[in-house]
Structure 1
Amino acid sequence: MMTFFKKTSLVLAFLTVSVTALANNGINPPKQDNAAYVLMDYDTGTILAQNNANEPLPPASLTKMMTGYILEQKLLSGELSETTPIKVSEKAWCRGSSSQSCMYVPLGESATAIDMLRGIIIQSGNDASIAVAEHISGSESAFAVIMNDEAAKLGMTNTHFANATGMPAEGHRSSAQDLAVLARTVIKNSAQYYPIYSEKEFTYNNIKQGNRNALLFTDATVDGLKTGHTAESGYSLAASSHKDNMRLIAIVLGAKSMQARADQARELLDFGFGHFTNVMVAPQGTDAGAIPVKFGKADTVTASTLSDLKVLTTKNQTGNFTTAIKLNDSITAPIKKGQELGQMMAVMDGKTVASTPIIAGDDVEQAGFVSRMWESLVDWIKGLF
């Protein structure tokens, strides 16, 4: 059914399903003995449970999610290749230390970028992190500027990075919510490399080290992300789990032990999967109909959803919603395939609860001058009545 509004807004209401309304409804979040925690729904970015979520705290090696992310983006852009050699300077070298996490690349030797990425993610290598920072920016301090610029782009408003490793430093802070935003970004924007976060071990220089994320060994639905610990920060964990058409991200900061951080992250994930669900309203590629085009050789263009339209809901209350398409104010040729034309929205009780872009399925060339003038004249005459 099509309903026209003034000007060029158009809504197509075509689907009704039963869903759960997202509301607390007596659902009480877990009480945990840590400095802060956040449970985030990956698809929508909604915070499902939190405590002290925006307090800037020492993030320890959860910092390395940003270090790894910047390297991943360099690889994906082609600025670096997986085989690019990255050299370990004297500053980056671990000197055989057992007092910090290391990949143990020998002084003056190089490892490939992809091995360094594994060293950062799996072994939490300070040497790998500093070497990557120096390779990309010339120095770790210069790399920290890039880290902070990226954090600002992502909206990490309670974060400041002073180094690439997470070792204690004045002003080096992040919040549980900011780290959840970062984890979500890693999963989304570095999907090609995200499987590394689930690898249980990595051997380099004949030294095999296991991933410190204990949940990887006890729960097949968990596939990342990173652990952290210093005396200052306590024990921290960023964990992500995917099941039942839903992905959740749990951030625990300042737990009292390795076991506690794993138990608390698991409690958060169980809470989320137990009380919430994501309903698929319209999968990626859902037909959005023939969209009118002005001044084109064709009068309409096919359109479809760019991504899945999901509604985050609780499991204990249901209601009805419709989906609708709201077009951009002016859809005028030329149109390029993939061009955004508007939004498909999930609507409940008159309120939009989720949306996803709709995009053109074909190119539409601009009509000739005479045809455009005639169409403009017709529109002008219609406007008189």
Structure 2
Amino acid sequence: MPFASRLRLLPNLLVLIVAGLAAGAAPASAHAAAHHTAAESTVHATPKKKKSVAHKTKPVHRSMHADAPSTNLSGPKRRTKRARPRHGPLPASQHAAQVSAKDAHAPRLLARCGFTPASRKQLFSHAIYVVDENTHTPLYARNADAVAPVASVSKLMTAIVWLDSAHAPLQQRLSVTTADLDTLKFTDSRLGVGASLTRANMLHVALMSSENRAASALSRDYPGGRPAFVAAMNTKALRFGMTHTHFVNATGLSPQNVSTARELANLVRAANGYPLIRRYSIDHQERVSTGRGQLQYVNSNRLVRYGQVRASVQKTGFINESGHNMVMRVMVHGRRPVIVTLLGSATPEGSRLDGVRIAHWLSCSLR
């Protein structure tokens, strides 16, 4: 081909070369663009992962709200924790209300029935204790824990010890001997030496009429004799919770037979458990055969003897050291037992009047 013709074809050849070069660069550019697009998708995927991580940490976020006092969750939780147990202690106000309600129903002596400070000053006995037996509620006490001689009130314990021994038939006769004479106070008795009574009669007149020689004979007629009998009396006293009570003989003629008005209530309560003590102590009168004739005895407690007080158990007692004493288990309205113990009245009339006044308070106040 002539040289001139080749020169004319040269521009076309250059165009073809440039076009070829452009066509070869296109795949590279497409690959680069594809690589860039993939990189972008990876970058955008990473935040998505972070977003999911943030979602997992939401419980931590909630716990922070749970500790905040202003949220709704905190209120119920605190109320649940502070809720009082169903059977737990009552609030002080409710407890006080219950105690007040209980006190309102507790038995008590009423001022409208004459139980006033002025009337209480008119009582003659030095030591007094009045207790409702069913509820064990003390209704009145004066010097109730003062230890004092109890005199023939001791015979209630004498009867208990003898009956518990049950070593001889009640209808078997027992004679009075010189060993039964009072060599301490030198008191007299209607039962002379040699008089013979059934053991039942001995117990009867000892309780009803406070017959000293009858009580002395019963204590002598005991396994082991009088020392064993007196020891049994003191053992019984401890068993009855009478820790300030002590006996040295069965009659009460010794001032060393001592107790308190409060502890004598325990003795009266125990004595009430013996049908014979209940029967004999409140009997109005009894005629007994002594083997030499008959003797008429009456109750030494005038309140019981004349029906001024209805009682299930009673006992009186007197020596110079003790003054006049009286204990009773009074049946208020014939059905409600109240124990009354009176120690240390200067006169028998004072002791009787105290019993009448207290019986009136009880009858009016208790229903």
Q: How much does 1:132 deviate?
A: 0.7
5 Å-filtered alignment, 1:250-289, equals 250-277=340-367
Would you say 1:65 and 2:156 are equivalent positions?
A: yes
Q: How much does 1:220 deviate?
A: 5.4
5 Å-filtered alignment, 1:307-326, equals none
Would you say 1:113 and 2:199 are equivalent positions?
A: yes
What secondary structure, in the 3-state scheme, does the structure 2 residue paired with 1:197 have?
helix
What secondary structure, in the 3-state scheme, does the structure 1 residue paired with 2:148 have?
coil
Residue identity matched to 1:53 = A
What secondary structure, in the 3-state scheme, does the structure 1 residue paired with 2:170 have?
coil
Return the alpha-carbon distance in structure 1 between the equivalents of residues 276 and 286 of structure 2: 18
Residue identity matched to 1:198 = I
Equivalent of 1:124, from 201, 210, 225?
Answer: 210
Return the alpha-carbon distance in structure 1 between the equivalents of residues 176 and 109 of structure 2: 54
Would you say 1:182 and 2:272 are equivalent positions?
A: no
What secondary structure, in the 3-state scheme, does the structure 1 residue paired with 2:301 have?
coil
Return the alpha-carbon distance in structure 2 between the equivalents of residues 101 and 53 of structure 1: 32
What secondary structure, in the 3-state scheme, does the structure 2 residue paired with 1:86 have?
strand
Return the alpha-carbon distance in structure 2 between the equivalents of residues 147 and 47 of structure 1: 26
Q: How much does 1:197 deviate?
A: 1.4
Q: How much does 1:190 deviate?
A: 0.3
What is the match of residue 149 of structure 1?
235
Percent identity between the aligned chains? 23
Instruction: Specify which structure has the higher proportion of strand.
Output: 1
Residue identity matched to 1:233 = S
What is the match of residue 48 of structure 1?
139
Residue identity matched to 1:195 = R
Contact 1:101 1:125 in 2 (8 A): no
Instruction: Specify which structure has the higher proportion of helix.
Output: 2
> Does the C-alpha gap of structure 1 residues 228 and 193 become closer, same or farther in structure 2, counting only changes over 3 Å?
closer
Return the alpha-carbon distance in structure 1 between the equivalents of residues 274 and 320 of structure 2: 31
Q: How much does 1:156 deviate?
A: 0.8
Residue identity matched to 1:258 = P
| Deviations, residues 199-240 of structure 1 (Å, cap 9, x unaligned) | 112233322222110101142523441111111111111123
What is the match of residue 100 of structure 1?
187
Would you say 1:21 and 2:113 are equivalent positions?
A: no
Residue identity matched to 1:149 = T
What is the match of residue 323 of structure 2?
234
What secondary structure, in the 3-state scheme, does the structure 1 residue paired with 2:296 have?
strand
Gaps of 5+ in 2: 1-86, 88-101
Would you say 1:167 and 2:241 are equivalent positions?
A: no
In the superposition, the TM-score normalised over structure 2's length comes to: 0.62
Gaps of 5+ in 1: 6-17, 278-385
Residue identity matched to 1:66 = M
Contact 2:323 2:347 in 1 (8 A): yes
Residue identity matched to 2:209 = Q
> Does the C-alpha gap of structure 1 residues 51 and 74 become closer, same or farther in structure 2, counting only changes over 3 Å?
same
Larger radius of gyration between Structure 1 and Structure 2: 2
Return the alpha-carbon distance in structure 1 between the equivalents of residues 299 and 252 of structure 2: 17
Contact 2:176 2:195 in 1 (8 A): yes
Residue identity matched to 2:311 = V
Return the alpha-carbon distance in structure 1 between the equivalents of residues 151 and 351 of structure 2: 14
**How many residue pairs end up in the alignment?**
254
